[in-house]
């Protein structure tokens, strides 16, 4: 009858009974308790990440909207200051323009107040300011994604643009009155107020930014006796 081999030296040192076996430490597996602790740690981490994610998305959305407003603000300011007439791409981004109590729009060609050229858009936005009947437009971002530009998406980001165009008023009454009159006719205070976002029900959010510049030149009708105005040197 064969004899049972005696315990290995490592087993005798650990006090294991004869015939027992102890795997080396680097070959041992995790216990259920250790796995449960790991899952608990991962669960706490996931809860924290999911809680922060909505805030991060909101900040990203606000930063993106601020960037679009800055880009569009510079674009409209330069277009109005220079009296641009050929920016027909604006017809695809400007939805409506309210001027002197009349609502012009670019959506339906059979509408009597339809405007279909960049000449009409800039001409209406340059209308002399007469509070509260100033030029106000609802606009989609010019520099936005392709899905948000044009007139195909009802979920696109939109903002309200209000143009205030005033003759410059000199605060120095000691100057020649004739000079003051000439100055006010050839120097204009142009302000563009952006408010966003425009919601589906027509209400406007809390976003607001104002661009301001002085424009030298004369404000003229084109064509004469129309509601289209342009700055000319």
Mean pLDDT of the 88-92 span: 91
The CA distance from 207 to 63, in Å, is: 11
pLDDT cut 70: percent of the chain above it: 76
What is the rounded average pLDDT for all residues in the chain?
A: 82
Q: What is the pLDDT of residues 112-124, one digit of tens each?
A: 999 999 999 999 9
Which residues, in sequence order, are CB contacts of 168 under 8 Å at separation 6+?
A: 183, 184, 187, 188, 189, 214
pLDDT tops 60 at residue 230: yes
**For residue 50, what are the CA distances in angstroms to 47, 54, 58, 63?**
5, 8, 13, 21
For residues 164 and 134, the answer to whether their CB atoms sit within 8 Å is yes
The CA distance from 33 to 12, in Å, is: 28
Mean pLDDT of the 147-154 span: 58
Region of poorest pLDDT, from 31-40, 178-187, 195-204: 178-187
Mean pLDDT of the 139-159 span: 73
pLDDT tops 90 at residue 177: no
> What angle, rounded to 10 degrees, do the helices at 118-125 and 32-81 form?
80
pLDDT tops 70 at residue 146: no
The CA distance from 124 to 132, in Å, is: 15
For residues 79 and 122, the answer to whether their CB atoms sit within 8 Å is yes
The CA distance from 81 to 126, in Å, is: 9
Query: What local confidence, expressed as pLDDT, does residue 153 receive?
Result: 60
């Amino acid at each position: 009858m064969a004899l049972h081999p005696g315990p290995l030296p490592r087993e005798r040192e650990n006090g294991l009974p004869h015939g027992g076996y102890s795997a080396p430490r680097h070959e041992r597996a995790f216990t259920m308790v250790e796995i449960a602790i790991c899952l608990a740690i991962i669960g706490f981490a996931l809860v924290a990440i999911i809680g922060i994610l909505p805030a991060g998305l909101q900040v990203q959305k606000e930063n993106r909207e601020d960037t679009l407003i800055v880009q569009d603000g510079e674009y409209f300011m330069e277009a109005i200051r220079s009296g641009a007439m050929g920016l027909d791409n604006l017809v695809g981004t400007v939805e409506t323009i309210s001027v002197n109590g009349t609502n012009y729009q670019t959506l339906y060609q059979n509408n009597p107040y339809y405007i279909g050229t960049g000449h009409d858009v800039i001409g209406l936005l340059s209308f002399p300011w007469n509070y509260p009947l100033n030029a106000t437009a609802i606009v989609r971002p010019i520099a936005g994604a392709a899905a948000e530009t044009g007139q195909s998406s009802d979920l696109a980001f939109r903002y309200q643009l209000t143009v205030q165009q005033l003759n410059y008023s000199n605060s120095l009454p000691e100057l020649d009155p004739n000079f003051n009159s000439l100055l006010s006719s050839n120097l204009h205070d142009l302000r563009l107020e952006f408010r966003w976002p425009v919601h589906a029900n027509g209400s406007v959010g809390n976003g607001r930014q104002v661009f301001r510049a002085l424009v030298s030149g004369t404000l003229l009708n084109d064509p004469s006796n129309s509601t289209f105005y342009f700055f000319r040197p």
